[in-house]
Amino acid sequence: MNLLRGALRTYAWGSRTAIAEFTGKPSPTAHPEAELWFGAHPADPAWLETDSGEHSLLDAVRSDPEGQLGGAVRHRFGDTLPFLMKVLAADEPLSLQAHPSAEQAAEGFAREDRLGIPVSSPIRNYRDRSHKPELLVALSTFEVLAGFRPAAKSVELIRALAVSDLDPFVNLLAGQPDADGLRALFTTWITAPQPDLDLLVPAVIDGAINYVRSGKKEFAAEARTVLELGERYPGDAGVLASLLLNRLTLRPGEGIYMPAGNLHTYLHGVGIEVMANSDNVLRGGLTPKHVDVPELLRVLDFTPANEAVLRPKMSQDGMETVYETAAPEFSVSVLGIDGDRLGHQVDAPSRHDGPQILLCSEGSAVLHAKAGEVTLERGGAAWVAADDGPIRLVAQRPTKLFRATVGI
Ligand SMILES: [Zn+2]
């Protein structure tokens, strides 16, 4: 077992304070810090702290896959760590995006190879052959747009904005309030010529301003999101698309699961994200990065989903709260030590006998594995190789540890 130092990613939408404060570093920082990666992704692996200095987790997995991953994980996923855990801090909205299914990723990767687009090219959509299911768990209040809202509700929202330029579109959706109607309307908007968007988006922003000024409550959050997105991305079809997506507020500890084809964007907040170890993102707007609308439309799932569908079921097993998801690559839980467990050594067997990453989000704990022990403070992480588990924990004050393992 080793302490694990995350790889820091600085993107423009990040925060100058959140990750630094979480990891006990000076704040504010010189650059916006967006993500801290704990995994063995070739683009930016995390670092094992050892007596002989820091070693890349990627190198450790490659040189000793049996010890680090264990036989069962190697058999299912090959000699790579199948999941990636991130601390994510969004001060500004991320791009409007979706991720492919496993079949779509394999097909898209082969197609872009045939077209001769280098894997590192900024216009490459498929950088690997994997799907990328994602689970986000909020550390602070976290605002997201995710999944198409039931169409009848979107009709109500759009009508409430009272924008006459939207009448033909809302009538289209009202006439077919289902997945096909959502596909037709989203496709119309996302492929609209720029001159049309330059008229329509400002009209929608005016409608949102009027709605917010009116003091009405029902769609106030949705209207404010239109204003926030419109201010940063004037004329972007993503502003219109936001009218069709569920707008969720996650409280600390609440999660959201995004399977293949789920259109989403993170608006604001700090959270822990765990995903399959993939970089496959198809963007539709709200970004200066590469956007590929036809490819996005190929992978999108227009089936309406309400909040209850998007939020993973949570089950309690002793001190462990498990976020139940269908992803084979990962399983995420929180180990909560408090009350009678404080001051005692407690067993924390994993649901999977593969490797584990533990990340302390609150309090402090000593972790004991077969080989050695480490102390985790808030913002600190540890790598437990497959041949080093199971672990035991000791905490003197209320403590929470996020745990990522391979899915069952
Ligand atoms: Zn995503």
Q: Could you count the other beta carbons within 10 Å of the beta carbon of residue 273?
A: 20
Q: How confident is the model at residue 290 (pLDDT cuts 50, 70, 90)?
A: confident
CA of 134 to the centre of ligand 1 (A): 7
Average pLDDT over residues 362-382: 96
CA of 143 to the centre of ligand 1 (A): 14
Q: What is the C-alpha to C-alpha distance for residues 44 and 61, in angstroms, rounded to an integer?
A: 14
Please tell me the distance between residue 82's alpha carbon and the centre of ligand 1 in angstroms.
17
Tokens of 79: 């000699």
Report pLDDT for 147. Answer: 96
Does the pLDDT at position 371 exceed 90? no
Q: From residue 147, how far is each of 33, 144, 335 by CA, in Å?
A: 27, 10, 29
pTM of the predicted protein model: 0.94
CB 261 within 8 A of CB 98: yes
Mean pLDDT, the chain, integer:
95
- Sole residue written with tokens 């872009």: 112
Q: Which of 75-89, 186-200, 243-257, 280-294 comes out lowest in average pLDDT?
A: 280-294
Q: How confident is the model at residue 328 (pLDDT cuts 50, 70, 90)?
A: very high
Q: What is the reported pLDDT for 43?
A: 86
pLDDT number for residue 9: 95
Going from the Cα of 132 to the center of ligand 1, the distance in angstroms, rounded, reads: 8
> What's the pLDDT at 351?
84
Please tell me the distance between residue 300's alpha carbon and the centre of ligand 1 in angstroms.
13
Residues designated as active site: 283
Distance between CA atoms of 351 and 331, rounded to whole angstroms?
Answer: 9
Given a cut of 90, whether residue 138 has pLDDT beyond it is: yes
Q: Is the pLDDT of residue 164 over 90?
A: yes
- Please give the distance, rounded to the nearest whole angstrom, from the Cα atom of residue 270 to the centre of ligand 1: 15
Q: Give the per-residue pLDDT at 307.
A: 82
Query: From the CA of 339, how far away is ligand 1's center (Å)?
Result: 36
Answer whether 357's CB lies under 8 Å from 4's CB: yes
Report the separation in Å between the CA atom of 34 and the middle of ligand 1, taken as the mean of its atom positions: 14
- Strand ranges inside 206-285, DSSP E: 245-250, 255-258, 264-276, 282-285
